[in-house]
């Protein structure tokens, strides 16, 4: 039984990433609080990052240790996440100042 | 001197432990009423993910994950949670009206993932691909900054421009009167 468990392949990491991605999607689609929606988006980005680093590991096994493109891309995704969080939370503060609420289904200023 | 690739110790134990922490933390993020509890669960998820990065021989990304995500972005989240009042939003309905269709859509996406991963299993033959460890941080810096071999230098400059735009945008958005 330990032999079956001893081999952690790339697919194991991909399954964890997929589960995290699904949790993030459920959070984005069902929660009302905008802060938790933004946190769910962070969950999605982290699932993508885990996939990228796992594929980078696989690629390194094939092409040598200097094939680090997946990890570089993960760093770019982290940069994007920082920018997204700053702008999103800025929008959230501006919205809260105007409407005194943080619920997504009350964000209807642009609806006709 | 002949470098030998060392096999990692107790890989399954740490992998399943860290994966369990990540999944439980993710579930807590999307189910807690209190936004502060969600933020703390997200921090535990991010730290466990940094552990998984270490298991994938990515120490630099793991450090960036801890410093930037768990240390920087989550502090930003906690600041904003404290700026807006949570007492009233905790008493309200937590899920919106389309929660059922949302869960159905997520389940369909999960079915897609399962079918792709079961059909594409042969693409990832085994996890035993070991290689000689070399400078991980040096390799990343070479790809990012080296003018001759680095292919991501332009993308790096664009990322700095993106951060500048985000800083200005956040200040413009959050400031009451410019």
What is the enclosing helix (H) or strand (E) of A76? helix A69-99
pLDDT tens profile A102-111: 888 888 878 7
pLDDT score recorded for residue B86: 65
Q: Give Cα separations from A67 to A15, B135, B151 (angstroms).
A: 23, 12, 12
In this prediction the ipTM stands at 0.89
pTM: 0.88
* B155 and A56 Cβ atoms separated by less than 8 Å: no
* Four-way CATH pick for A2-104: 1.10.287.3510, 2.40.160.20, 1.10.3720.10, 2.40.50.180: 1.10.287.3510
Domain B1-91 matching CATH 1.25.40.10: the answer reads no
Model pLDDT, residue B1:
38
How far apart are alpha carbons B54 and B44 in whole angstroms?
Answer: 16
Residue A95 has pLDDT above 90, yes or no: no
> Which of B19, B45, B64 has its CB closest to that of A78?
B64
Query: Are the Cβ atoms of B166 and A54 closer than 8 angstroms?
Result: no
Tell me which residues of chain B have a pLDDT lower than 50: 1-4
Confidence (pLDDT) at B132: 61
The alpha-helical segments, DSSP class H, found in chain B are 11-31, 35-55, 59-64, 74-83, 87-91, 99-119, 136-145, 153-174
Structural contact between residues B175 and B167, judged by C-beta atoms closer than 8 angstroms? no
- For residue B29, list its beta bridge partners: none
B87 closest CA partner among B42, B33, B32, B28: B33
Per-residue pLDDT tens for B45-63? 999 999 999 988 889 999 9
Determine the residue of chain A that is closest to B172 in CA distance.
Answer: A90
pLDDT of A112 over the 90 cut: no
**Does any CB of chain A come closer than 8 Å to the CB of residue B128?**
yes
Answer yes or no: do A43 and B162 touch at CB < 8 A. Answer: no
Can you give the pLDDT at residue A1? 39
Mean pLDDT of A61-82: 87
How is chain A split into domains, by residue range? 2-104
Q: Provide, as residue numbers in chain A, all residues whose Cβ is less than 8 Å from the Cβ of B134.
A: 65-66
- Please determine, for residue A28, whether its predicted confidence score (pLDDT) is greater than 70: yes
pLDDT at residue B8 in the model: 57
């Amino acid at each position: 039984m330990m032999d079956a468990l001893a081999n952690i392949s790339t697919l194991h990491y991909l399954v964890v990433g997929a589960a995290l991605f699904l949790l993030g999607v459920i959070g984005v689609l069902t929660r009302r609080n905008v802060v938790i929606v933004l946190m769910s988006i962070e969950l999605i980005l982290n699932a993508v990052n885990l996939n990228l680093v796992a594929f980078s590991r696989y690629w390194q096994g094939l092409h040598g240790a200097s094939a680090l493109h997946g990890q570089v891309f993960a760093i770019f995704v982290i940069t994007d996440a920082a920018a997204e969080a700053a702008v999103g939370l800025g929008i959230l503060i501006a919205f809260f100042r105007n409407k005194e609420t943080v619920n997504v289904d009350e964000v209807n200023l642009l609806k006709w | 001197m002949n470098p030998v690739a060392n096999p990692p110790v107790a890989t399954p134990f740490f992998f399943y432990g860290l994966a369990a922490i990540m999944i439980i933390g993710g579930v807590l993020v999307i189910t807690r009423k209190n936004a502060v509890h969600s933020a703390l669960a997200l921090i535990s998820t991010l730290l466990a993910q940094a552990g998984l990065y270490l298991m994938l021989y990515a120490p630099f990304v793991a450090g960036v994950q801890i410093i930037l995500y768990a240390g920087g972005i989550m502090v930003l989240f906690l600041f904003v949670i404290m700026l807006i009042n949570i007492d009233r939003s905790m008493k309200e309905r937590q899920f919106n009206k389309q929660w059922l269709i949302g869960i159905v859509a997520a389940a369909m996406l999960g079915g897609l993932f399962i079918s792709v991963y079961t059909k594409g299993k042969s693409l990832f033959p085994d996890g035993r691909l070991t290689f000689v460890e070399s400078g991980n941080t040096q390799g990343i810096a070479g790809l990012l900054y080296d003018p001759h071999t680095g292919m991501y230098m332009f993308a790096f400059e664009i990322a700095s421009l993106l951060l500048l735009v985000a800083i200005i945008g956040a200040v413009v958005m959050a400031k009451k009167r410019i």
